[in-house]
Structure 1
């Protein structure tokens, strides 16, 4: 029998040492998912991104086809990145609720590994995002989206999207930990999220922007991730696109992880 067999949740959380990190993280991630997921929520996580996908497809497909762009292949990475962004914003709201409700204070008063709280939050965010990502990929496949790189490319596509979500969640999580009003932090984070999505190659090529905006669009981290997802799916320009996305992920990880660590230490 394993060392953790038969232990109650409280006993697992009270265990000390690095060996308990995985068990504590799993327990807290399960709790996070029970709080965040319900049947209506899961339906919304599937239906909402699909409404965006089919809405954009219906309105813009002919226009892009006239420009020689297969919009059915071009659009899915944009919807995936958009929904990863929205999931990261919702993570901030959930963290803010935990802080206001006293959950974080309770955990800090117990012998819980500090990394377990962060790891559990990221794991639950990843599961929530994965539901939406798989729904978008399945729907997109029905409308012509394909992975020219095969199953390995599909796996890389999902992993890259999740990596972006997890890094972004560190940043939004820092904001959520600093906020005292969950509803306010959600609205506040949506304000920069939408311009970042619009001023990128998510929904239009960089060449379609005014010349004075193109440098902003081309340097955008959102553009880097979206372009890398398209390259992974198409198998074209893969090395350069992945390098650019990787650099942005590392830069954002360094910034956001530091911010999240400082915010967690200050949260009560």
Structure 2
């Protein structure tokens, strides 16, 4: 596909910042078409369904005996797992662009430094939205519902999108420094699954051995799932949201700084 960029020397274009916007639109469109042709949206749809069935079917009766509506309890972590897998896709796309020489090509063109990253993050956000929508639609079939007002529902979705974006930024930087897509996937999928399993997203804290409870209770995925759970029932509290927001904000600061350095100070080629 031929990419054409506006003339950076045009004072009117530069003055209004439209160079960045036009380049971002071109690259985002390219990435979305590539993601569709490579089945990335199919994976974004399939993963939350697979995770939901894999945990809901064997555990729903056990949780019902403990007085827990498992569909309501489970859905936040299913959404989080879905957006985490879109972050893996973001890392793979960054790696493949590098391996195919796209980074080298863009470096030789008048492309603003952060345009490629911004375009990849826009594509990742679309994938996250697809995954979240699928998870919520399938969750409704299992019995999940939003019991709060529209603001609580919007908060649930926006919080999930924010988590997905932060994870994608970090994964993108990792994708630029690894040598292959397979290595990138291995570095990301295993920690994601381990942290998910050792969180209070799938089962309550009381289900863990005594020695594992402090970690399960205090790690970021548990805080994020708890925050989203409260938003879903329409009873958000600052005491629950604060740790999750602190984790999210701290990760965002660190990962954005790493991504900015990677994009503006290093040219990584195959």
TM-score by length of 2: 0.90
* Alignment partner, residue 21 of structure 1: 20
* Alignment partner, residue 224 of structure 2: 225
* Alignment partner, residue 209 of structure 1: 208
Query: 2: distance between equivalents of 1:178 and 1:56?
Result: 34
Query: 2: distance between equivalents of 1:192 and 1:253?
Result: 18
Single out whichever of 201-210 and 236-245 deviates more from structure 2: 236-245
Is 1:73 matched with 2:39? Answer: no
Relative distance call for 1:150 and 1:237 in structure 2 (3 A) is closer
Query: 2: distance between equivalents of 1:122 and 1:151?
Result: 26
* CA shift for structure 1 position 10: 0.7
Query: 2: distance between equivalents of 1:87 and 1:131?
Result: 10
Query: 1: distance between equivalents of 2:190 and 2:132?
Result: 23
Give the RMSD, CA atoms, in angstroms.
1.9
* Alignment partner, residue 126 of structure 1: 125
> Are the equivalent residues in 2 in contact too, given 1:13–1:112 (CA < 8 A)?
no
* Alignment partner, residue 105 of structure 1: 104
SS in 1 for 2:209: coil
* Alignment partner, residue 91 of structure 1: 90
Mapping of residues 131-170 of structure 1, within 5 Å = 131-170=130-169
Query: 2: distance between equivalents of 1:58 and 1:33?
Result: 34
| Deviations 1:3-32, CA, capped at 9 Å, x for gaps | xxxxx9513385773332222212211111
Query: 2: distance between equivalents of 1:254 and 1:70?
Result: 36
Query: 2: distance between equivalents of 1:12 and 1:60?
Result: 56
* Alignment partner, residue 248 of structure 2: 249
> Are the equivalent residues in 2 in contact too, given 1:14–1:110 (CA < 8 A)?
no
SS in 2 for 1:43: helix
* Alignment partner, residue 5 of structure 1: none
Query: 1: distance between equivalents of 2:95 and 2:80?
Result: 23
Query: 2: distance between equivalents of 1:13 and 1:56?
Result: 53
Query: 1: distance between equivalents of 2:154 and 2:203?
Result: 25
SS in 2 for 1:12: coil
Q: Which stretches of structure 1, 4 residues or more, deviate above 4 A after TM superposition?
A: 13-16
Which blocks of at least 5 consecutive residues in structure 1 are unaligned?
A: 1-7
Single out whichever of 79-88 and 111-120 deviates more from structure 2: 111-120
Aligned length: 261
* Alignment partner, residue 11 of structure 1: 5
| Deviations 1:146-168, CA, capped at 9 Å, x for gaps | 11113322221111101001101
Query: 2: distance between equivalents of 1:205 and 1:13?
Result: 57
SS in 2 for 1:212: helix
SS in 1 for 2:193: helix
TM-score by length of 1: 0.91
